[in-house]
Each structure stands twice: as C-alpha cells, then as structure tokens.
Amino acid sequence: MTGAPDPALVERLTEARHAIDARLTAAGATPGTVQVIAVSKTHPAATVAAAMAAGFTDFGESYATEFAAKAAELAEQPPRWHFIGQLQTNKVRVVAPFVDVYQSVDRPSLVSELEKRAPGAAVLVQVNLAGAAGRGGVSFDDAPGLIETARAAGLVVTGVMGVAPLGGPDVTTSAFRRLRSLCDAEGLADCSMGMSDDLEIAVAEGSTMVRIGSAIFGPRG
Ligand SMILES: *Cc1c(COP(=O)(O)O)cnc(C)c1O
C-alpha cells in the first residue's frame, strides 16, 4: 500500500465510527467496554487503511484468499485482524501469517490444524445460535467440549462468538442471552455477538465485542 488514504473517505468513516459509538452508548454500553470489530470483507485494503486513519483498530474478515491478499498489502502497518468466517482447514496455512484472533473455531479438525500452523493462537469458539448442528458453529451442547479440546491443543480460548438466527428480536434476544450464559459458565472474557442490525440487542444482553460491517462501510456488493 502506498499513498495517504482518501481524506473524504476517512471523514465519512470517522462519522460512521462516531455513529456506532453513539448507538453503543444509547444501548447502555459503558464507553470502552464493547469492542468494535470493523468487518471489512469485500472492501479493498485502501478502505481498511482509511478506516484505520478514522480510528478503527480491529478488523474482521471472512474469506481466506481475499483476506490474505489484503493483509499482505497492509503488512507494514497491520491492524488487529479477526478471522470471522467459515475456515476450511486447507486455508489455515494461507491466513495464519496475518490473523490475530480466530473467532470462528467450530470443530476439532480446525483446532488440530491451528495447533500445527498457529500454535498458541487466540481463539473464540463459534456457537451455532440457531440450535442446530451444522455449518457456522458448534452446538451449545458440544461447545464446552470443544473449548476443552482447544485448550488441550495449546490454543488460548478467550471467548465465544455467535450470529443471531433469523426470526426477529425475541429470537435474537434469547439466542444472545444463551450465548452470554455460556460465556459466563466457561469463565470467558469475550462474548462476540451483535452486527449492524442487532447491536442494540447484543449490548443489552452483555456483548463485549460487536462485529459491524455495513453500518460502517455501506452495503457490500
Ligand atoms: C459479515 C459478518 C458480519 C458483519 O455483518 P453486517 O450486517 O454487515 O454488520 C458480522 N459477523 C459475521 C460472522 C459476518 O460474517
């Protein structure tokens, strides 16, 4: 990456940062207690650089190949990178040089691969809040076992992550409440829940980390 970020973009992203802070405060968050992860998937490295100039420090990415190319461009002055998407085991090698926190650890095979390629990595265990087993998270029932497996593999489990299932505010509220209970039961610090459309509910239910894409960067293409 060369050149200073576009001033107009930095200004727009600074306004977006203030707007998110205002939403967090209005939702009852004590300032500084809920970390904002700016979800920059599909947006270029130049946009991330502008968002860093606007005061964002932590970024979330979902697509391994896209992420690795972007992170390589920003390698001289990297932000803190959180991997938040489905991660195939054969892509761990590609992202490992850049990832600071793996938020989507959801199965033992991924734990094994991280043990090999990213020993001692900081991870969150992703729980499927829809209740069903399957893609995008371990079931609530299997989460404590996976946390143990990750710890036994030398990974540092700092929290849990979840995406609200479809179904409206009541469904979101009870899903987030259940994730927060798991976080407390496991004695974990990080409870990563809340996105652009449900951050208020997430904060009310005890989120410590919100992952915000479109409300910062606009709609994805
Ligand atoms: C894309 C994504 C987000 C951000 O979604 P927005 O609705 O754009 O805020 C958050 N978390 C995960 C896991 C995502 O994949």
Residues with Cβ within 6 A of ligand 1?
39, 41, 62, 84-85, 163, 195-197, 211-215
Task: Choose one of 195, 197, 209 to mutate for the ligand 1 pocket test, by most ligand atoms within 8 angstroms of C-beta.
Answer: 195
Provide the β-strand partners of residue 190: 159
Q: Which atom of ligand 1 is the closest one to the Cα of 161? A: 13
**How would you class 109 by CB atoms within 10 Å of its CB: exposed for 0-12, middle for 13-18, buried for 19 or more?**
exposed
**Closest Cα to atom 11, ligand 1: which residue?**
211
pLDDT tens-place string over residues 77-120: 999 999 999 999 999 999 999 999 999 999 999 999 999 999 99
pLDDT digits (tens, 9 = 90+) for 37-73: 999 999 999 999 999 999 999 999 999 999 999 999 9
Pocket test residue of 24, 62, 67 for ligand 1, highest count of atoms within 8 A of CB = 62
For atom 7 of ligand 1, the residue with the nearest CA is 196
Q: Which of 211, 214, 220 to mutate to test the pocket of ligand 1 (most atoms within 8 A of CB)?
A: 211
Residue 69: strand pairing partners: none
Instruction: Report how far residue 180's alpha carbon sits from residue 162's, in angstroms, rounded to the nearest whole number.
Output: 10
Average confidence score pLDDT of the chain:
96
Determine the average pLDDT of the residues in 128-141.
Answer: 84
Of all atoms in ligand 1, which is nearest to the CA of residue 84?
13
Cα(221)–Cα(148) distance, integer angstroms: 39
CB of 107 closer than 8 Å to CB of 138? yes
The DSSP secondary structure of 88-100, one letter per residue, reads: -GGGHHHHTTT-S
Nearest to 106 by CA among 86, 81, 129: 86
- Name which of 59, 68, 121, 60 is nearest 90 in CA terms: 68
Residue whose CA is at the smallest distance from ligand 1 atom 6? 213
